[in-house]
Amino acid sequence: MKKLILITALLASPLFAQTKEKIEVPYVAFPIKMGKGFDAVQANCLMCHSFGYIINQGRQSKAFWRGKIDKMITHFKAPIGEEAAKSVTEYLYKHYGNGKLK
């Protein structure tokens, strides 16, 4: 009987997933600088990607941050209005900017 079980297990093994249950991708809190415009970041950016994805781009110019938002609108079809786009740009430039407009 024991042998039979072993054989069955071997036969079936190619289709055993290493992980039998649903995997769970952990939630990670990144340090966030609070300030004017963060509401807009939360409402328009964080449903698609983490805050880490933003701040790990490094310090960037105002034009860079605006360009990223435009990319999200144009290529990724994020429904971000002009007012929100401006708020997000200002927030990112103020807290994660490199001091250059371009």
Partner 1 sequence: MERRDFFKKAAVVAGVAAVGSTTAEASATHQPIDNRKVSDVAFPEKRPLILYSDRPPLLETQRDVFTSILTPNDQFFVRWHMPDIPTHIDPETFTISVNGLVEREINISLNDLKTKFEQVEVTAVLQCGGNSRSAFTPIAGGIQWGSGAMGCATWKGVRLRDLLDQAGLKKDAEWIGFNGSEKAAYYETPEFIRELHLEELDDHVILAYQMNGEDLPYLNGYPLRLVIPGSYSDSWVKMLSNITVTDEYKHLFFMDVAYRVPDNECECETPEKKAPKTKPITKMNVKSIIGYPTNGGKLSLNSHVVVRGVAFDDGHGIKKVLVSTDEGKTWQEALLDDGKAGRYAYRAFRFTFKPTKLGKLTFMAKAINNIGEEQPFANEIKWNHGGYKYNGIDEVTVEVI
Q: Where on the chain is the footprint of partner 1 (CB under 8 A)?
A: 14-19, 21-32, 34, 47-53, 55-60, 64, 67-68, 75-79, 96, 98-100, 102
Yes or no: say if 49 and 87 are a contact pair by the CB < 8 Å rule.
no
Judged by beta carbon, residue 6 or residue 46, the one nearer partner 1 is: 46
DSSP 58-102: -SB-HHHHHHHHHHHHHTS-----HHHHHHHHHHHHHHHB-S---
Q: Of 78, 88, 73, which is closest to residue 42 (Cα–Cα)? A: 88
Considering beta carbons, is residue 6 or 76 the nearer one to partner 1? Answer: 76
* Min separation Cβ 66 and partner 1, Å: 12
* 78 or 86: CB nearest partner 1: 78
Rounded Cα–Cα distance for residues 24 and 37 (Å) = 31
91 in Cβ contact with 41 (< 8 Å):
yes
Least Å from the CB of residue 70 to partner 1 = 12
Select 51 or 90, whichever has its Cβ closest to partner 1.
Answer: 51
Least distance (Å) between residue 38 CB and partner 1: 9
